[in-house]
Amino acid sequence: MTLLELQNLLKDKVRAAAIMHFQMAPDQIVSEIPPKTELGDLAFPAAFELAKVIKQQTGEKQNPRAIAETLKAELEKFDFVDHVEVAGPGYLNVFYNRGKFLRENAVRQFGSETTDGEKICVEHTSVNPNKAAHIGHVRNSVIGDTFQRILKATGKSVEVQNYIDNTGVQVADVVVGFIYLENRDLDSIKKLDAELAAKSETFDYYCWELYAKVGQRYQADEELKAKRAEVLHAIEEGGNDIALLADYVATRNVECILKTMERLSIRYDLLPRESEILHLHFWNRAFETMKERGVIHFENEGKNAGCWVMPFDSHEGTDEHETDKILVRSNGTVTYTGKDIAYQMWKLGLLGLDFYYKPFFKYADGKEVWITTAERSADTHVRAPSFGHGEAVYNVIDARQSYPQEVVKKGVAAIFPEKGEAASVHLSYEMVALSPAAAGELGFEISDEDRKKPFIEMSGRKGLGVKADDLIDRLEANALAEVESRHPNLAADVKPQVAHQLAVGALRFFLLKFTRNTIIVFDFGEALSTEGETGTFCQYSAVRANSIFRKAEEQGLSLLHFQEILEKTHEAATILNDGEAGNEIWSLAILSSRLDETVRQAASQNEPAILAKYTFALAKAFNLFYHHHKILAERDPVKQAVLAVTADMARRSLTSALDIMGIEVPEKM
RNA sequence: GCCGCCGUAGCUCAACGGGACCAGAGCGUCGGUCUUCUAAACCGAAGGUUCCGGGUUCGAAUCCCGGCGGCGGCACCA
């Protein structure tokens, strides 16, 4: 029986006991994890709830402790339960049968064996394809990627989309730079691209600088600014030289960004592009549906005269019409929100139109990323998977876009009340900002005004930010130096690989340990740290655990051997119940088996940080165990088996937890 | 002005739809641990009126009201 099954069973028993003795039960039986192992393995505050219910229904005041005492006897009849204590103001603390539990869980593998069929779409990354990704973008990608892994671990099938806004103003800005600041045409850009490659410089870094330059020039040059609108219009229109040039620039940036993300083990299934949403007239279809369903109307007068608007009553303004969201401007063009609603409809399979698809990129192991196209190609129907049609859609987008995201969610729900708001989830997170010190380290002039601020917002337009590849490079270099000094004899090709795994672990964990609504004020010292609450710490713990078993194998002691000993004896319980040492071993065993519920909790609360916190706690518990119990030196074979099996449970959970966070366990470190 | 998020130890953060002896971690500080499975580790100590004031509750960091302070969002931009 898994821990989760055991918990559910106990919940049912508590409910049954309540009904048997009091003829009533609280709506929900809540279970908690006691603050310390000595207080038990599972706690039910049910007596408090029950006291409340009894008082409501009968007016009778009952002491929670007395209620708990009554319920206690029922739970103790169960053989997985060693005993139950009533503690504090009326907690029902359940102590599991430690020996039985360890035997049952000694070989259990983590993970859901079945997929429940429902497909979930997760959109993340969605960096404007006009420059290199910075650390703020990486927070988005790491949260999104980890979240989709969490969903998969709970048995969902998931499709990962990375939206490409290839026809927006940001791309237009870089195109303006190429054409009007650098006098380049498409051929010249291709030549530049080749030159950069020869110098092992990257196209996205070049665009980063150019974009910043353009932003600066706009301030003084109105003429240039006027070019932006022209260029943007040409790009949206398509079928002209400027659009071709823009497509090249955007595509090259997408390639660079995909490469950056691949360094962090982040991959995608599909790249939906704005150009196709335009050219395949997604909006028109959405517009028709909205009109049919009567959720938008044409404004004849007032300040929105001539526009198509969708009313929203949830946000009240000073005058009632201020809350209306304009979807079609008076000049007939569609707003971004309008397009976004159409796109969201497609994701949910509600639009009634589809993209065409072609393969865009193949990862080293053969996995393909697809991209949308406007023309039917052979691949679309022959080889392309079925995209979209998500039962639910998660959009990983930063918190500053909460309002437009709410409009999209409410808008789609208004059009399709049968689908409802729950199908659209805005997985919001706060930005990564720079500490004034970090901005200084990057070589930026900081104004006196900025210096007083708690943090400085990164800005692609200003070229202010920590580029993802730069940070990964630094992490890898630091890790490599460390590996060189610790393991000089490690094979030459393994060292950089380990350094890479450590860099990824450090960065991903750093971005995951903060809850989503915490603004990360980026600090180099913290981000580069490999001590304390870090990915490196967690990896180290797993590596140590593995090395125990490697050494054991060398001595002819296999894991199977330990498991068999445990199978044949009932003395394990004696060891696990033996005072402080017993509690310590048991704590690690029980904590290791909480991965399942932790992942579920992270999924239901949309909070990857819960998993990161758990992983760190588990690594810490393992390190403590590691220092106090020398497995290979242990003389008592049963105790050795108990220790080994517990260590194995810990390393399996650690490895799985890290894997769900996209972090690998190195061979040595 | 309106809406939202936030305010917890010197610093950076946790605390699961209110609850269990000292509100927990990490960093930093001070002190201790390597002839024994890797010291990127472990142990111990110091450090908090959970921004302030009310209220609800047997019980509040958590819920409600009112302040103060910080940040973000409020376009016929994306």
Q: What is the pLDDT of residue A557?
A: 93
Q: What ipTM describes this predicted complex?
A: 0.96
- Give yes or no for a contact between A143 and A429, defined as CB atoms under 8 angstroms apart: yes
Nearest-nucleotide field for A480 (CA, C1'):
B40
pLDDT at residue A320, as a whole number: 41
pLDDT, mean of residues A559-566: 93
| Confidence at residue A177, expressed as pLDDT on a 0 to 100 scale | 96
Predicted pLDDT of residue A217:
92
Please determine, for residue A146, whether its predicted confidence score (pLDDT) is greater than 60: yes
C-alpha to C-alpha distance for A46 and A26, rounded to whole angstroms? 7
Half-sphere exposure of A576 (CA within 13 A, CB side): 27
* Closest nt by CA–C1' to A482: B40
**Residue whose CA lies closest to nucleotide B43 C1':** A624
What is the β-pairing status of strands A81-87 and A91-96? antiparallel
C1' of nucleotide B13: residue with nearest CA: A514
- The confidence score (pLDDT) of residue A599 equals 95
Alpha helices per DSSP H over A199-240: 203-220, 222-237
Position A318 confidence tier, pLDDT thresholds 50, 70, 90: very low
pLDDT band at A112 (very low <50, low <70, confident <90, very high): low
How far, in Å, is the CA of A537 from the C1' of nucleotide B39? 13
Give residue for tokens 């993340």.
A124
pLDDT exceeds cutoff 90 at A269: yes
Tell me the nt nearest to A90, Cα to C1'.
B20
Percent of chain A with pLDDT over 70: 97
Q: Provide mean pLDDT across the span A222-248.
A: 93
pLDDT confidence tier of residue A526, bands split at 50, 70 and 90: very high
Tell me which protein residue sits closest to nucleotide B2, measuring alpha carbon to C1'.
Answer: A317
Mean pLDDT value across residues A592-619: 95
CA at A595, C1' at B50: how many angstroms apart?
Answer: 30
Nearest to A422 by CA among A351, A348, A515: A348
Nearest nt to the A26 alpha carbon by C1': B17
Q: CA-based angle A241:A242:A244, to the nearest 5?
A: 65
Nearest to A666 by CA among A466, A464, A479: A479
CA of A574 to C1' of B35 (A): 33
Strand pairing class (A297-298; A325-328)? unpaired
Per DSSP, A88 falls in state T
Nucleotide nearest to A552 (CA to C1'): B37
CA of A426 and C1' of B7: distance in angstroms? 25
**What digits encode the pLDDT tens for the residues A394-407?**
999 999 999 899 99
Distance A517 CA to B76 C1' (A): 32
Q: How far apart are CA A119 and CA A348, in angstroms?
A: 10
In DSSP terms, which residues pair with A456 in a beta bridge?
Answer: A434
* Complete edge-to-edge strand list for the sheet that includes strand A308-310: A297-298, A308-310, A325-328
Q: Which two tokens stand for residue A372?
A: 């949308």
CA A535 / C1′ B26 distance in Å: 12
Residue by residue, DSSP assigns A234-246 as HHHH-SSHHHHHH
For residue A251, the Cα-to-chain-centroid distance in whole angstroms is 25
CA dist., res. A326 & res. A549, Å (int): 64
Q: Which pLDDT score is estimated for A503?
A: 98
Q: Give the pLDDT mean for A658-663.
A: 98
Protein contacts on strand B: list nucleotides below 7 Å from a Cβ: 1-6, 12-17, 19-21, 25-28, 36-43, 58, 70-78
Q: Name the nucleotide nearest A613; use CA and C1'.
A: B14
Residue A344 has pLDDT above 50, yes or no: yes
Query: Is A26 a residue whose pLDDT tops 90?
Result: no
pLDDT for res A576: 92
Backbone phi, psi, residue A616, to 5°: -65, -45
The order of strands in the sheet holding A520-522 is A456-457, A432-434, A520-522
Angle at A632 between CA A626 and CA A637, to 5 degrees: 110
Determine the distance between A524 (CA) and B58 (C1') in angstroms: 49
Terminal CA-CA length for chain A = 36
The pLDDT of residue A322: 53
Contact of A169 with A228, CB cutoff 8 Å = yes
Compute the average pLDDT of residues A217-234.
91
Domains of chain A in sequence order: 3-96 (3.30.1360.70), 165-265 (no CATH)
pLDDT of A313 > 70? The answer is no
Distance A328 CA to B50 C1' (A): 48
- Nucleotide nearest the Cα atom of A499 (by C1'): B40
Token digits of residue A500 = 């890479």
B3 nearest neighbour residue (CA to C1'): A315
Give the closest nucleotide to A332 (alpha carbon vs C1').
B76
Q: Is the pLDDT of residue A315 over 60?
A: no
Reported as a single tens digit per residue, the pLDDT across A242-253 is: 999 999 999 999
CB atoms within 10 A of CB A588: 24
Place of tokens 């069929």: A117
Cβ-contact A103, A120 below 8 angstroms: no
A169 CA – B78 C1', rounded, Å: 7
Statement: residue A321 has pLDDT above 50:
no
- What is the CA A419 to C1' B6 distance in angstroms? 33
> How many helical (H) and strand (E) elements, i.e. helices and strands, does chain A have?
27, 16
Dihedral over Cα of A505, A546, A105, A116: its sign: positive
By C-alpha to C1' distance, B75 is nearest to A326
* Mean pLDDT on A640-665: 96
Cβ proximity of A634 and A643 under 8 Å: yes
Q: Please check the confidence at residue A279 and state whether its pLDDT lies above 60.
A: yes
- Percent of chain A past pLDDT 90, that is, above it, reads 71
Instruction: Please state which of the ranges A134-138, A152-156, A409-413, A445-449 shows the lowest mean pLDDT.
Output: A445-449
Closest by CA to A370, choosing from A379, A357, A386, is A357
CA distance A306 to A310: 13
Q: Scanning the structure block, which residue is given the tokens 């394990």?
A: A572
Q: Which pLDDT score is estimated for A24?
A: 81
Mean pLDDT, range A500-516, rounded to an integer? 97
Q: What is the pLDDT of residue A114?
A: 67
What's the mean pLDDT in A602-625? 96
A579 CB burial (10 A radius; 0-12, 13-18, 19+): exposed
* Tokens describing residue A505: 């672990």
A513 CA from B57 C1′ (Å)? 34
- Nearest DNA or RNA nucleotide to A29 (CA to C1'): B17
Q: Are A664 and A504 in contact (CB under 8 A)?
A: yes
Please enumerate in sequence order all residues whose Cβ is within 8 A of that of A213, keeping only pairs 6 or more positions apart, or say none: A177, A181
Distance, CA of A259 to CA of A454 (rounded, Å): 33
Top pLDDT among A446 and A136 is at A136
> Residue range A318-339: average pLDDT?
78
The listed range with the strongest mean pLDDT (A80-84, A309-313, A505-509) is A505-509
> Which nt sits closest to A541, CA to C1'?
B41
Q: How confident is the model at residue A570 (pLDDT cuts 50, 70, 90)?
A: confident
Pairing mode of beta strands A368-373, A325-328: unpaired
Mean pLDDT computed over every residue of chain A = 91
What confidence tier does A370 reach under pLDDT thresholds 50, 70, 90? Answer: very high
Q: Is the pLDDT of residue A43 over 60?
A: yes
Q: How confident is the model at residue A317 (pLDDT cuts 50, 70, 90)?
A: very low
Q: What is the token pair recorded at A448?
A: 């006196």
Helix spans in A523-578 (H): 524-528, 535-554, 559-568, 572-576
Q: Which two tokens stand for residue A603?
A: 């999924």
What does each C-alpha distance from A263 to A270, A364, A503 come to in angstroms?
18, 12, 10
Protein-to-nucleotide distance from the CA of A35 to the C1' of B23, whole angstroms: 12
The arithmetic mean of pLDDT across residues A464-479, rounded, is: 96
The CA distance from A147 to A122, in Å, is 8
Cα distance between residue A225 and residue A22, in whole Å: 76
- Mean pLDDT in residue range A588-592: 95
Confidence grade of residue A319 (pLDDT, cut at 50, 70, 90): very low
Backbone angles phi, psi at A428, to 5 degrees: -90, 155
- Amino acid letter, residue A347: K
Write the single-letter amino acid at A468: A
**pLDDT, average across residues A370-386:** 83
Q: Which amino acid is present at A138?
A: V
Å between CA of A584 and C1' of B78? 55
How far, in Å, are A512, A594, A644 from residue A563 at the CA level? 35, 20, 9
User: For strand A270-271 and strand A368-373, is the pairing parallel, antiparallel, or unpaired?
Assistant: parallel
Closest protein CA to C1' of nucleotide B24, residue: A35
